[in-house]
Amino acid sequence: MGKKYSLGIGLNLFDAEAILLSQDNQVITRVKKNRVKVSANETLTTLIELFEEILSKAKKHKSDIEGIGLALGGIVNSKKGIVYWPQPPDSYVALPLRDYFKKKFGFPVYLENDANASAWAEYQTNFSKCNNVIYLFSGVGCGIIINGGVYKGRDGAAGELFLNPQKNMSSYLGDFSFLSRWPADLGMVKRAKALVSLGKETRLIKRISSSGELSLGAIFEEAKKKDKISREVVREAAQALGAKSAFLINLLNPEVLIIGGGLEVAGEFFLEGCFDSLKKFSFSEMRKNCKVTLSGLGSQATSLGAAMLVFKEKALQV
């Protein structure tokens, strides 16, 4: 019996990647694309392009490919193979991606949330001795490993970290608008632009394009060079994520909490800000034995996890 392979396609904050993975977890080949404007249409187009490119590179292994793993954002019902893409103010576009890709390309398709796939990849690669792991994907959703398995909930869509926004987001107990859905970049680009418009002295002025675009990567780069405004923006976002991290630590008492989904690019300064905040909001007894770290796999986590989960799901079917 020959070696088996899987295809993993993962979408991230900055880019998207497709890999061919062998059964012994060796990446045979990969294809990468940058992402500019994230939308339902862009997501579908990117997935198709990546699959076609990776398949062309994997021709000689085609007969030994066990299936495709797709890892992407949105509310993912992995049982039905549908992604619900949020649309303002409170509606969703339903994308039946599993059936679409299976019909288009003829392979078994396993659909997974980006955070779940990333959590599984990090767990298998870097934290296999830890049974309880949380992977924070850009602060919007999280992948949860409980007792060595991915926790998906009843419909396979667990891990979303927000409430649907309403006109009234408060009660006599206080304001809970903080629990509304956050932007994937934690609002850092919008915040940076606002500070620039106020005339704050910052190198970010030179990083804004003629069309008014500013990339999150530029903010991270300038923060690492100690640009004051960039560091202020990154620090504010880190503190907010730290509060959300503290809530998860208090709720689930994990051994490891991983910050990823693109935010790991911000580096140690971001991690320090996040940890300073979560220390204030989490119970010391819960926190003291929890390792808080940046993703070691970076942008590769989603595609790797998606490909790994194909083998896991196939094994469960035997």
66/172 same-domain check = no
Angle at 238 between CA 234 and CA 244, to 5 degrees: 150
How many other C-beta atoms are found inside a 10 Å radius of the C-beta of residue 6? 27
305/175 same-domain check = no
Beta strands in the chain (DSSP E): 5-11, 15-22, 27-34, 65-72, 75-77, 82-87, 91-95, 109-113, 133-137, 141-146, 149-150, 170-171, 174-175, 256-260, 291-294
* Residue 51 located in a structural domain: yes
pTM, rounded to two decimals = 0.92
192/103 same-domain check = no
The type of residue at 92 is Y
59/39 same-domain check = yes
Name residue, tokens 């990776």: 54
The three-class DSSP label of residue 2 is coil
Residue 311: give the domain boundaries. Answer: 5-113+299-317
CATH number at residue 279: 3.30.420.40
* Residue 192 located in a structural domain: yes
Angle between helices 188-197 and 216-224 (to 10 degrees): 70
Ordered mean pLDDT values, 10 residues apiece, the chain (318 residues) = 88 87 94 78 85 91 93 87 76 85 90 95 96 92 95 89 85 88 91 94 94 93 96 97 95 96 95 96 93 95 96 76
* Residue 122 located in a structural domain: no
169/105 same-domain check = no
93/207 same-domain check = no
Q: Helix, strand, coil % (nearest 5) of the chain? A: 45, 25, 30
Note the pLDDT of residue 89.
Answer: 62
* Residue 127 located in a structural domain: no
The type of residue at 165 is P
